[in-house]
């Protein structure tokens, strides 16, 4: 204990380097996903503080128009650079906005193909770069990069939104090419997080469908010239050639053809040291490793690469031979601590197990002790689980480490008894219980612990703040010849093939008959950890679950936390659809605002026109939900009440004129259309035309209060059929956008009733 105390005391205080870094860019900007390249998510702004945050009010709302019906996650955090907000959507649309009004300056649509089978239809933001060789005002002197769900890296002119023709092929690099293991189907290889831009390079990872096959697409990290798009280096987390570092930690005839081990989350960087910090996920498949025996070095690790070359500088593995889907899910946070007045460059690594590791970011050596402790062995035929796993000290473990039948939870005696029986019927021997044929409890499961929400650091307060989830999962290995029967018995469970292994898999949430988690609440908390003392300063239940409000049970959270010098922590991401401001000193809630749908994004803040704004994307979530998904396309801005402050026009604009846009049916098919509206009685009518001639017919719109209703009777010549769409939506963005939901009745095919969305933009003739 004395040794541990001595080490934690070395993490006390703030080095002057932290303050210097805060001044290295404009305090009012937000120039990278986590504000700085180290991902601290801390802003030095303090116009909004604990004394006045109760006066925070909504000041504008922007709708992207990229509304989806049942799939998709609008998780983006905008950038504020050179006085302009830049935003991306799950469909890869990039928009530039006026930061004081939310008025759209330009928008670019990459036309993502919705017909693909995307595993995670999400996007978390864009990145930016200023070309030091470009003259002032030159086209693409400032570039915005977006990596789309269909695996394209696109460079746009920040001033106009037009593709930079000198980058790749007319502004685009195809990321699905030149992989050791190619995608087996469109959508298996995706990108969901923003690239990192460092030293004139744009560096990106990938999101790869889990549990389809052993030889999933390669999780290679690649760097491209920021100006030309030419590939400069690549690094594969799985060593492929004998003699390369880590090669001998992969055993088996097919081990070196294993896929994934990909960096799907957000990377961070230390430009001063030319270091890139890569959070690496698990190798394929997640729950059976008999085809990839060994420790599996670089998978489930944080790896520091030389940013200029891609060479490995150091690595730290958080899980050996993963059998739990325990990716490194979050952006590693680079921050500075001090001992005896000397700065210590540190890296905070949060994990799905709820473990927090603090490393020296120069070497990867732990600054807080890490012990290898014995864990349960797998009894599954062909599997060789690793006998130990790395554990930080107890204070750095943030979730419960036991789930006995006697600890079951239920809202009633009957529900609790059912959970007791369910827990007793499954394998569970602690946090690293291997997947099994009987069914094993993974607690915490793939949701965490910590997840991609990650951690935020206030260096001056020596405080790390993060959301923590506690929600048990059950994973069952399915013998190959039983796959069909399992699918018939469990139609609502997640079941995948894990081709190339003897077992498929099934994953379920551990809930009782009342659909309430079987583990004790709180199921979601916000935790503040004192980095100087190595102890929790406070932890509070975060949010509510519908029907259980006010009980302190908390809600699972995906989104992230914004910290400010005003002493505030802003957080959303819970099931109850609120944005909250908490006192950073105590965790007490000081303010909250309802959101139209869930805000599963990292909030951000900036100054524009002498006023501080807090902004969050609210798009809902297709899986983290109670009941059917409720999705949206909202960007909401808040500021202190100020009479006379600029707002976008909210009055009804004339609907007559030219509109272009699209219908999206069943979230899988896009129908681009255009039409001219003219008044007829109390309605507006037009004739829909499409460039491809796919659908056509008369459209009728009518105002209904603050919204619009539409009816479209269509012909579909290619399928010799037709039908009718009826829609309900809103006028948005000062009358420049019509967006809403559809009901589709069709005589085409087997599905006669479908759902969808519409989005129309006003255009000049």
Q: 10 Å Cβ neighbour count for 70?
A: 14
First to last CA, the chain: 75
Catalytic residue among 236, 270, 322, 325: 325
**Residue from 549, 739, 522 nearest 626 by CA:** 549
Exposure string (b/e) for 590-605, b if CB count within 10 Å is 16 or more?
bbbbebbbbbbbbbbb
**Residues ≥6 apart with Cβ < 8 Å to 640:** 47, 48, 52, 55, 56, 57, 611, 612
Distances (CA, A) of 92 to 72, 109, 111, 702: 12, 7, 8, 30
Joined tokens for residue 442: 């993974």
Q: Is 53 exposed, middle or buried (0-12, 13-18, 19+ CB in 10 A)?
A: buried
Residue 4, classed as helix, strand or coil, is helix
Q: How many angstroms separate the Cα of 517 from the Cα of each of 387, 411, 761?
A: 30, 10, 43
For residue 608, give the nearest of 104, 30, 133 by alpha carbon: 30
Cis amide prior to 663 (ω within 30 degrees): no
Query: Does the annotation count 544 as an active-site position?
Result: no
Q: What span, in angstroms and rounded, lies between the C-alpha atoms of 64 and 739?
A: 9
User: Taking the CB of residue 325, how many other CB atoms lie within 10 A of it?
Assistant: 25
Q: What is the DSSP string of 65-126?
A: S---SSS-EE----EEETTEEEEE-TT--EEEE-TTT--EEEEE-----TTS--S--EE---
Say which residue the tokens 């896009």 belong to.
670
| Residues involved in catalysis | 325
């Amino acid at each position: 204990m004395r040794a541990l105390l001595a080490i934690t005391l070395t993490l006390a205080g703030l080095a002057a380097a932290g303050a210097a870094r805060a001044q290295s860019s404009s305090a009012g900007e937000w120039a990278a996903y986590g504000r700085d390249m180290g991902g601290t998510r801390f802003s030095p702004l303090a116009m909004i503080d604990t004394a006045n945050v109760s006066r925070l009010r909504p000041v504008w709302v922007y709708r992207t128009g990229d509304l989806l019906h049942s799939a998709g996650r609008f998780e983006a955090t905008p950038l504020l650079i050179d006085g302009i907000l830049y935003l991306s959507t799950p469909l890869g649309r990039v928009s530039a906005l006026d930061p004081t009004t939310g008025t759209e300056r330009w928008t670019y649509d990459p036309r993502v193909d919705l017909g693909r089978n995307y595993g995670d239809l999400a996007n978390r933001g864009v990145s930016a770069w200023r070309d030091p060789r470009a003259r002032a005002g030159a086209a693409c002197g400032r570039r915005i990069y977006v990596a789309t769900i269909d695996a394209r890296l696109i460079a746009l002119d920040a001033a106009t939104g037009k593709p930079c023709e000198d980058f790749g092929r007319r502004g685009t690099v195809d990321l699905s090419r030149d992989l050791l293991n190619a995608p087996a189907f469109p959508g298996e290889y995706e990108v969901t997080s923003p690239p990192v831009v460092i030293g004139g390079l744009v560096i990106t990872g990938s999101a790869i469908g889990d549990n389809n096959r052993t030889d999933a697409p390669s999780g290679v990290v690649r760097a491209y010239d920021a100006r030309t798009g030419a590939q400069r280096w690549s690094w594969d987390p799985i060593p492929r050639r004998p003699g390369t570092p880590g090669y001998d930690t992969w055993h088996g005839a097919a081990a070196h053809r294993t896929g994934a081990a990909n960096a799907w989350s957000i990377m961070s960087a230390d430009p001063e040291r030319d270091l890139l910090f890569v959070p690496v996920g698990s190798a394929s498949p997640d729950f059976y490793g008999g085809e990839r025996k060994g420790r599996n070095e670089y998978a489930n690790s944080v790896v520091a690469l030389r940013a200029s070359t891609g060479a490995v500088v150091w690595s730290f593995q958080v899980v050996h031979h993963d059998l739990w889907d325990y990716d490194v899910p979050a952006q590693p946070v680079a921050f500075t601590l001090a001992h005896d007045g000397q700065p210590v460059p540190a890296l905070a690594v949060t994990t799905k197990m709820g473990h927090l590791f603090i490393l020296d970011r120069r070497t990867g050596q732990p600054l807080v002790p890490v012990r290898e402790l014995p864990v349960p062995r797998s009894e599954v035929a062909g599997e060789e689980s690793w006998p130990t796993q790395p554990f930080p000290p107890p204070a750095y473990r943030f979730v419960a480490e036991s789930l006995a039948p006697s600890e079951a939870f239920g809202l009633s005696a009957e529900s609790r008894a059912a959970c007791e029986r369910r827990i007793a019927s499954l394998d569970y021997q602690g946090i690293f219980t291997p997947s099994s044929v009987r069914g094993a409890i993974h607690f915490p499961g793939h949701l965490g612990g910590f997840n991609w929400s990650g951690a935020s650091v206030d260096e001056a307060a020596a405080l790390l703040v993060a959301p923590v989830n506690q929600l048990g999962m059950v994973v069952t290995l399915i013998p190959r010849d039983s796959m069909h029967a399992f699918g018939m018995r469990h139609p609502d469970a997640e079941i995948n093939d894990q081709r190339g292994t003897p077992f498929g898999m099934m994953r379920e949430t551990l809930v009782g008959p009342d659909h309430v988690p079987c583990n004790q609440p709180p199921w979601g908390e916000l935790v503040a950890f004192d980095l100087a003392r190595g102890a929790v300063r406070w932890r509070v239940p975060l949010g509510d679950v519908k029907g259980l409000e006010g009980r302190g049970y908390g809600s699972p959270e995906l989104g992230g936390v914004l910290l400010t010098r005003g002493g505030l922590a802003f957080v959303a991401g819970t099931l109850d659809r609120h944005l909250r401001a908490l006192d950073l000193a105590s965790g007490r809630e000081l303010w909250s605002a309802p959101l139209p749908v869930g805000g599963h994004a990292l909030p951000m803040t900036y100054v524009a026109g002498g006023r501080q704004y807090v902004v969050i994307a609210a798009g809902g979530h297709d899986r983290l939900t109670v009941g059917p998904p409720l999705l949206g396309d909202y960007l909401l801005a808040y500021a202190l009440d100020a009479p006379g402050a600029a707002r976008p026009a909210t009055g009804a604009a004339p609907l007559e004129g030219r509109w272009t846009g699209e219908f999206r049916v069943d979230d899988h098919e896009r129908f681009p259309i255009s039409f001219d509206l003219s008044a007829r009685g109390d309605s507006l009518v037009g004739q829909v035309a499409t460039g491809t001639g796919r659908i056509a017919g008369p459209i009728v719109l009518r105002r209904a209060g603050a919204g619009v209703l539409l009816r479209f009777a269509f012909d579909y010549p290619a399928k010799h059929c037709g039908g009718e769409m009826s829609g309900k939506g809103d006028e948005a963005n000062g009358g420049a956008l019509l967006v809403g939901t559809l009901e589709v009745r069709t005589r085409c095919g087997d599905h006669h009733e479908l759902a969808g969305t519409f989005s129309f933009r006003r255009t000049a003739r």
